[in-house]
């Protein structure tokens, strides 16, 4: 027997119309190319989104056209999020930090019809435009006064174009499985792979994000997404903020500028922020040096790579900010698990609390998780056994865009995340490594993330990474690579390594530490272990004869 409930499709336009009816007055505040503090209401934003939809019709875009954006977190980008997807087209957010050859691959693979871009990326686009034949024109996200002097083919001005459009547009009643967005993984191995989100997956992920045991978003929040809108939809904040009626504050091109972030937090009253650990390092340093405060901020979601315990403690103890450690990936829209307390963990103190905090957290309802051994047998949730982390659910991708078969998508319906993890009795996931970064020493596995956590808590360390390097006796041993806060700092390797004693199993302690001026990062701000290993070619452990 079927239930008798309405079969209302889950569409992004319904998030938008809910926002218009219930909190159309709410603000989006944004740093932009032509304004260091642009502000307007949700209603104004969405009426310009309808102009965008009219514009795409006028430009004769196909009903399922892929429309690329190369843009920072600003209000014009939000307009595109809604205007492109609600008209039935696919918003393809492109990461401008990728290498030119990857950008060319992505734009061609997606067959993007138009590229909407921030003027800062003009030169980058000029260098690749002749290799992107599907692109019919380039729209600069700027007013006439800020238009770049450029030879990009069919270059247009966003503000001039919008001025000609009507804000009346009846967004269609699409099938909820219609594609709404496209985001490519950064492709550290092989070509980048496209993840094609649907309206349904986006709406469900938005509900998931807002739940109390996720980011717990409400109409009283002021959200500062520091995670770029070109990377997994800024973890869904532009949708979630609109849906719940939270004020949205966007740092524009100043996303990496600690001073701007701190003034946005204080002047706009941000209550929640979100970003990868590397964006918070300079912000914490800036706060320390200037003795400024961030009183309104109550919590920040940190994920994308493991958040070191020292960062959580600094936020909590010095600024009263709770870090919500989370894990996810482009293939998961992206949020999979968030570390919030339950009845068994809320009272933890001391070392037990520390051990718990570095875990990535419990699965959001809607995300099923399991860990398996090499024979695909499920492993127990005992916090000890580690295995391949697999997931499934309505906001997990079922395949890659225009890729026939992928090893990650398994015949039993689960997606292999490529991460290795333990899960404890509370369902709390702890990522120990990416499969390819696991250190295999004498047949046993060592977690680089756990060692990095200890390394980060050593005084004077700005950033560190642990990689497995060849060792004649043990096959691989961990090497600690360190960036000091102060370049004149004189570390003793022996003292540093003895700091690990008692904190990890004795045989996990790195065999050596080396000091570098900086670590290589990927386009999404994570330490690139691939490049790091390449730069260490020829390295030999002192005890490896």
Which one, of 128, 156, 178, 153, lies nearest residue 52 by Cα?
A: 156
Residues in region 429-448 near ligand ADP by CB under 6 A: 431, 434
Shortest separation between residue 187's beta carbon and ligand ADP, angstroms: 7
Q: Which structure tokens are listed for 149?
A: 């002097």
Q: Which of 305, 333, 345, 528 binds ligand ADP (CB under 6 A)?
A: 305
- Ranges within 176-195 binding ligand ADP (CB under 6 A): 185-186
539 closest CA partner among 449, 448, 478: 478
Catalytic one of 185, 202, 330, 340 = 185
- For position 360 contacting ligand ADP by CB under 6 A, the verdict is yes
Give the dihedral of Cα atoms 161, 166, 167, 169; nearest 10 deg: -110
CB of 215 to ligand ADP, least distance (A): 14
In angstroms, the CA 364 to CA 236 distance is 14
The candidate with the shortest Cα–Cα distance to 505, out of 463, 542, 454, 438, is 454
536: nearest Cα among 456, 452, 477, 455: 477
Does residue 278 interact with ligand ADP by CB under 6 A? no
- Contact flags string 396-415 toward ligand ADP, x per CB under 6 A: --------------------
Q: Note whether 428 binds ligand ADP by CB under 6 A.
A: no
Cβ proximity to ligand ADP, 244 vs 451, nearer residue: 451
CB of 354 to ligand ADP, least distance (A): 16
Cα 286-287-292 angle, rounded to 5 deg? 130
* Residue 401: CB minimum distance to ligand ADP, A: 15
Judge contact between 221 and 271, C-beta under 8 A.
yes
**Residue among 353 and 470 whose Cβ is closer to ligand ADP:** 353
303 binds ligand ADP (CB under 6 A): yes
Per CB under 6 A, the list member of 221, 419, 452, 463 interacting with ligand ADP is: 419
What is residue 455's three-state secondary structure? helix
Q: Which of 404, 322, 395, 399 is nearest to 363 (CA)?
A: 395
Active-site entry in 123, 288, 436, 440: 440
Nearer Cβ to ligand ADP (22/310): 310
Pick from 129, 112, 120: which is nearest to 56 by CA?
112
79 is catalytic: no
Give the residue with the Cβ less far from ligand ADP, 69 or 447.
447
Catalytically annotated residue among 111, 136, 314, 445: 445
Binding span for ligand ADP by CB under 6 A among 134-142, 303-311, 492-500, 508-516: 303-311
Looking at the Cβ atoms of 97 and 385, the one nearer to ligand ADP is 97
Residue in 269, 272, 274, 268 with CA at minimum distance from that of residue 236: 274
The active-site residue, picked from 331, 450, 452, 463, is 331
Site string for ligand ADP, 441-480 (x = CB under 6 A): --------x-------------------------------
Q: Taking CB under 6 A as the rule, does residue 198 contact ligand ADP? A: no
Q: Which is nearer to ligand ADP, 84 or 332 (CB)?
A: 332
Residue closer to ligand ADP, measured from CB, 246 or 281: 281
**Choice between 96 and 148, CB closer to ligand ADP:** 96
Contact 401, 393 (CB under 8 A): no
φ and ψ of 430, to 5 deg: -125, 115
The residue count for the chain: 545
Q: What are φ and ψ of residue 396, in 5° steps?
A: -105, 135
Other residues' Cβ atoms within 10 Å of the Cβ of residue 514: 12
Q: On the CB side of 537, how many CA atoms lie within 13 Å of its CA?
A: 4
Binding positions for ligand ADP, 218-277, rule CB under 6 A: none
Kindly state whether residue 97 participates in binding ligand ADP, applying the rule CB under 6 A.
Answer: no
Active site residue 136: no
Active site residue 185: yes
Exactly one of 54, 278, 524, 528 binds ligand ADP (CB under 6 A); which one?
524
C-alpha span between 505 and 501 (Å, rounded) = 8
For residue 17, how many other CB atoms are within 10 A of its CB?
14
What ranges make up the beta strands (E) of 210-345?
A: 222-225, 247-250, 272-275, 299-302, 322-328, 335-338
First-to-last CA distance in the chain? 73
Alpha helices in 292-369 (DSSP H): 309-319, 350-357
Please indicate whether residue 508 is annotated as part of the active site: no
CB of 220 to ligand ADP, least distance (A): 27
Binding mask 280-299 for ligand ADP (x = CB under 6 A): --------------------
What is residue 167's DSSP assignment? S
Q: Lay out the site mask for ligand ADP across 318-347 (x = CB under 6 A, - = otherwise).
A: -------xxx-xx---x-------------
List residues binding ligand ADP (CB under 6 A): 185-186, 303-306, 325-327, 329-330, 334, 360, 417-419, 431, 434, 449, 524, 526
Residues involved in catalysis: 185, 331, 440, 445
């Amino acid at each position: 027997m079927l239930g008798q409930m309405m079969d209302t499709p889950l569409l992004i336009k319904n998030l938008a119309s809910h926002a218009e009816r219930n909190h159309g007055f709410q603000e989006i505040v944004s740093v932009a190319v032509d304004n260091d503090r642009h502000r307007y209401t949700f209603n104004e934003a969405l009426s310009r989104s309808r102009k965008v939809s009219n514009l795409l019709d006028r430009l004769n875009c196909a009903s399922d056209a892929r429309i690329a954006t190369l843009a920072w977190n600003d209000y014009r980008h939000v307009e595109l999020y809604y205007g492109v997807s609600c008209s039935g087209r696919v918003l393809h957010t492109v990461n401008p930090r990728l290498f030119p050859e990857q950008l060319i691959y992505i734009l061609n693979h997606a067959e993007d019809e138009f590229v909407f871009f921030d003027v800062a990326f003009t030169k980058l686009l000029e260098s690749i435009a002749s290799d992107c034949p599907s692109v019919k024109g380039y729209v600069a996200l700027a007013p006439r006064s800020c238009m770049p002097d450029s030879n990009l083919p069919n270059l247009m001005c966003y503000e001039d174009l919008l001025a000609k459009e009507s804000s009346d547009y009846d967004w269609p009643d699409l099938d909820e499985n219609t594609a709404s967005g496209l985001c490519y993984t950064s492709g550290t191995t092989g070509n980048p792979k496209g993840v094609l989100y649907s309206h349904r997956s986006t709406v469900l992920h938005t509900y998931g994000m807002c739940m109390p045991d996720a980011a717990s978003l409400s109409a009283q929040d002021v959200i500062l997404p520091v995670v770029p809108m070109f990377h997994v939809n800024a973890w869904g904040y532009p949708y979630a903020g609109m849906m719940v009626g939270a004020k949205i504050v966007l740092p524009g091109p100043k996303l990496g500028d600690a001073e701007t972030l701190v003034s946005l937090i204080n002047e706009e009253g941000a209550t929640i922020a979100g970003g990868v650990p590397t964006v918070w390092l300079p912000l914490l340093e800036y706060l320390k040096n200037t003795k400024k405060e961030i009183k309104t901020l109550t919590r920040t979601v940190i994920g994308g790579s493991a958040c070191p315990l020292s960062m959580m403690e600094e936020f909590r103890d010095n600024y009263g900010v709770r870090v919500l450690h989370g894990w996810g990936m482009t293939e998961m829209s992206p949020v999979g698990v968030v570390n919030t307390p339950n009845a068994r963990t809320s009272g933890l103190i001391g070392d037990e609390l520390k051990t718990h905090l570095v875990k990535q957290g419990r699965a959001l309802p809607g995300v099923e998780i399991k860990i398996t051994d090499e024979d695909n047998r499920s492993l127990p949730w005992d916090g000890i056994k580690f295995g391949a982390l697999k997931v499934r659910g309505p906001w997990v991708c079922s395949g890659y865009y225009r890729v026939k078969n992928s090893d990650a998508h398994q015949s039993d319906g689960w997606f292999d995340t490529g991460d290795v993890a333990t899960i404890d009795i509370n369902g709390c996931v702890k990522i120990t490594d990416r499969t390819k970064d696991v250190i295999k020493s004498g047949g046993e596995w060592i977690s680089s993330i756990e060692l990095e956590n200890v390394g980060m808590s050593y005084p004077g360390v700005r950033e560190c990474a642990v990689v497995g390097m060849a060792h004649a006796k043990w096959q691989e041993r961990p090497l600690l690579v360190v960036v000091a806060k102060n370049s004149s700092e004189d570390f003793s390797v022996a003292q540093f390594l003895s700091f690990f004693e008692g904190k990890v199993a004795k045989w996990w302690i790195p065999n050596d530490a080396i000091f570098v001026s900086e670590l290589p990062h990927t386009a999404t701000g994570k330490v690139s272990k691939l490049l790091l290993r390449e730069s260490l070619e020829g390295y030999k452990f002192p005890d490896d004869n």
